[in-house]
Amino acid sequence: MLAGYRTIPTMYSTLPVALAMLVRMQENGEKGGGAGTVLVLSGSGAVEAAKKPEEERADRLAASLAAAGFRTERLSARKLADLDEALAARSISLVFSVALYLPDDLGRRRNVHAHFGARSVPFVGSPAAVLDLAIDKAALKRKWSSRGVLTPPFTVIDEVTPLPGPASLGLEFPLIVKPLREGNSRGIDAFSVANNYEELSAKTSALAERWGEVLVESFLGGSADFREFTVALVGDPVGGLVLPAEIRFEEKGVGGAVEPTSRIVTQAAKDGHLTSAIPLPRSDLRDRVASFAAEAFSVAGVRDYARCDIIQSWDRFYAIEINGQPMVPDSWFAACAEAEGLDEKGYLGAIVEASLRRLAAEGAAAKRTGGGSARGGRLAGLGPSIPLTAAPRGDPR
C-alpha cells in the first residue's frame, strides 16, 4: 500500500505536514498567537459524576495529541455560550469535540457539530446530520437497506407505534430488544433476547418505559459461524484507513463454550471488560470485512473517524450500527489501529490529519468556486491531498 502513516516507534511520519497545515490554516484566517492549535472540547454538565469519564477522556485525548507534537488547548463547556466565548478569545485552528451535545441559553440540547457548521468553525468529525442519522438506528438501517447494505430485519416500538400482535409482527424469533437512540450498549443486558411473544412484550414494555423508543431486530447469535467485528475508520471510507478487529466474548457457558445468549455485547460486559477487541490479521476475511464496512461507512456518510459493528451469521455479513463519534482514545479503536502499527498517538494524530486533508480539499473547492466564507478563506491552499493509507510493514522510515 502507499505510504501514509507509520510509527518511529510511536510517531506518524506525516506529522510535520499536519502541523504545517494547521499553521497555514491560522495564517489564512485570523492572525495572532496560538497558530496551529487544536482545541479539545468536552461538556461539563450539571451531573458531574456522569460527566467525569468524558472529562477524563478529553484530557487524555489532548495529552496524547500534545505528546505527538500538536499544540493543544482544553475547554470544558457547560453550554454553547461558553464555547462561543472561548472561540472568540482564543486563536484556534481546529476543534476536536468529545461532547456531542451542549445546551443553548434556553437549556435546549444542541448538536455541537451543527453549531460549528453554522459558524464556519473547522472541526474534526462528521456533519451534524450524519451524526443524527447514526444515532437513530432505524433511520440508518433503512438507508442501508435502500442501498443494498445487509442489516437484520427490524421494527420500532414507541408511543405512536405499539408492539404488533403475534400474527402481524413480521419477524422470526429469537429477537433482540435495545434502545433506539443509545450507544455504547446502554440498555442491553443478558436478558435482551426474546424467544417468544410473551418475552418480547415484557422486554419492549420495560425498555419503552425507560428509554421511550425501542428497536426490535432479528438476533443473529444462534448460527454456528457467528462472529462479531468492530471496524474503525480514519479518513474517508474511500481511500482512508478501514481497520477491522474481532470482538471476543469472555463469558462462557457449560463446557467452556460460548452460549448464543452470551453473544451479546452488553453494557455490563463492556463496563466489566468481559469483551475485548482483537486485531484481525491480514487475510481474505480481513479484506472482506473491511470492504463490507467501507460500504456501510460510505452509505452512512461518515468522515474523519467512526466505528462500525458488523456480525457474520449464516455465511453473510450484517451491518448492525455505526458510532459516528466514537469515544477516543478507546481500547477497541486502539485494537483496530494496532494491526497497522498505529499506537494511541499515531491513530489520534491520523484522525486530526485526515480532517485537515478534508478541510484543505473543501477550502480549495471554495476557492475554485469563488466561495467567500471565513472557513473557505482559512482552508484554501493548505497543501496537497495525499492518499490516507497505511504504511507497508517493515518500511524503515
Q: What is the pLDDT of residues 153-182, one digit of tens each?
A: 999 998 778 888 888 899 999 999 999 988
Rounded distance between C-alpha atoms, residue 9 and residue 27, angstroms: 31
Q: The C-alpha cell of 29 is what? A: 484566517
Conformation bin of residue 187: beta by default, left when phi > 0, alpha when psi is -120 to 50: left
Mean pLDDT is highest, among 8-12, 44-48, 84-88, 359-363, for 84-88
Residue 8: per-residue pLDDT: 28
Q: What is the pLDDT of residue 239?
A: 86
pLDDT digits (tens, 9 = 90+) for 189-216: 778 899 999 999 999 999 888 888 999 9
Provide the CB-side half-sphere exposure for 226 (13 A, CA): 17
**pTM flag (> 0.85):** no
| Residue of higher predicted confidence among 373 and 43 | 43
Give tens-digit pLDDT for 45-59.
544 545 588 899 999
- Helices 128-135/137-146 angle, 10° precision: 100
The full set of domains in the chain, from first to last, is: 15-125+341-379 (3.40.50), 153-218 (3.30.1490.20), 225-324 (3.30.470.20)
What is the distance between the alpha carbons of residues 355 and 303, in angstroms, rounded to a whole number? 8
Least confident interval from 23-37, 50-64, 226-240, 341-355: 23-37
- Residue range 98-143, pLDDT digits in tens: 999 999 999 999 999 999 999 999 999 999 999 999 999 999 999 9
Side-chain-side CA neighbours of residue 315 (13 Å): 0
CB 235 within 8 A of CB 304: yes
Averaged pLDDT, 342-349: 92
239-245 average pLDDT score:
93
Q: What is the 3-state secondary structure (H, E, C) of the chain?
A: CCCCECCCCCCCCCHHHHHHHHHHHHHHCCCCCCCCEEEEEEECCCCHHHHHHHHHHHHHHHHHHHHCCCEEEEEEECCHHHHHHHHHHCCCCEEEECCCEEECCCCCEEEHHHHHHHCCCCECCCCHHHHHHHHCHHHHHHHHHHCCCCCCCEEEECCCCCCCCCCCCCCCCCEEEEECCCCCCCCCCCCCEECCHHHHHHHHHHHHHHHCCEEEEECCCCCCCCEEEEEEEEECCCCCEEEEEEEEECCCCHHHCCCHHHCCCCHHHHHCCCEEEEECCCCHHHHHHHHHHHHHHHHHCCCEEEEEEEEEECCEEEEEEEECCCCCCCHHHHHHHHCCCCCHHHHHHHHHHHHHHHHHHHHHHHHHCCCCCHHHHHHCCCCCCCCCCECCCCCCC
Tell me if 93 sits within 8 A of 22, measured CB to CB. yes
Whether the upstream peptide bond of residue 127 has omega within 30° of 0, thus cis, is: no
Cell representation of residue 397: 522510515
338 vs 94, 116, 168, 308, 335, CA distance in Å?
26, 31, 46, 17, 5
